Every structure is written in C-alpha cells, then in structure tokens.
Amino acid sequence: MATAIEKALKAAMRSPEVKDLNVFGHDWNIKKATVTKSEDTITVEGQISHNVGWSSDDQIYYEFVFKKNKLVKNNIKIDEKGWASIAGKIIGVISGGIIPAADVESLANRIENMAHGEWQLAGQQLALRIGLEGYNRKSKSTVAAKKGRKSKSAEVA
C-alpha cells in the first residue's frame, strides 16, 4: 500500500488533483506539477493547497530550477488565506498602525501556527519533495532516451 508521501508525489507527477491527503501532519490538495526540460535545465513548477477548516485554503506556489544537475533556483511563495490573514487584519486594526507591518505578519503567523501547527515548514518540505521527484523523473527519462539513441545508432553502424 502506498504511503501518503508516495500518493502526493504520484498526484503531482501524473494524475489529477488529489484532495485531503494527510502528509507531514497536515491536509493538502496536491495539484499536478509542470516539469519541463530544455537542454541542460529542468524546471518543476506547481501549487499545493493547505486545507484550513472554516476559511479559505492557504496556497503554496513553488518553482525549482536545476541546471547541470544542480539546484540553481528555489522559489517557494506562501499565500496565506486562512486564520493568519484574518488575524493580521484584526491585529492591524486593533493596534491602529502602532505595530510595524512585519511584526503584524509575525504575530499573525504565530496565531496560525497555534491553530494549525507548523504548516508552512511542512508545505515547504512537501514542495521540495515534489521538486526533487520531478527532477529525478525528468533526468532519468533523458538518460534513458540518450541510451536508446546510442543503441540504435550502434545497430545502424
């Protein structure tokens, strides 16, 4: 039987969106990733949603770029829609602008973490696992294609 992380990776690589999958202690919607290769560069891009009860889901957008077998770009953007965005607005209004915006965001994140645990870290770990899976699959398919070309050219000679 497949583990939750195996199901998440499978969904991200080749199947339609999988909803309510518990990975790293949090529920996620896993959307299919886009994996592209051009010359010596492999790019993995996608989105996962953190399921948040009683509010809109938080979104994580990721992009990983591998060039010559090295990770050269690691971009993960977290768009909080859940309790942190609500708490941030309330804190901002209550403080009347006395608390700097960066501190409001930090406090809102603490409230979110109290309610839902360290979901941002779990989401970053999940996004990275998906990125590495996409890289591994695309690099293996490239190696297999090159081996196939070499054996065909050897047969012709």
Q: Is the pLDDT of residue 155 over 50?
A: no
Residue 76 β-bridge partners? 62
Burial class (CB in 10 A: 0-12, 13-18, 19+), 42: buried
Give φ, ψ of 96 to 5 degrees: 60, 30
Note the pTM of the prediction, 2 decimals: 0.71
CA 41, CA 90: separation in Å to the nearest integer?
A: 44
In this predicted model, what pLDDT tens digit does every residue of 33-82 receive, in sequence order?
999 999 899 999 999 998 876 667 789 999 999 999 899 999 999 887 65
- Residue found by looking up tokens 């409230």 in the block: 111
pLDDT category of residue 2 using cuts at 50, 70 and 90: confident
Whether 66 contacts 41, CB under 8 Å: yes
- What's the one-letter identity of residue 41? T
* Rounded Cα–Cα distance for residues 21 and 57 (Å): 14
Query: Hunting for tokens 């953007």 — which residue is that?
Result: 77
Contacts of residue 112, Cβ cutoff 8 Å, sequence gap at least 6? 80, 82, 83, 84, 87, 119
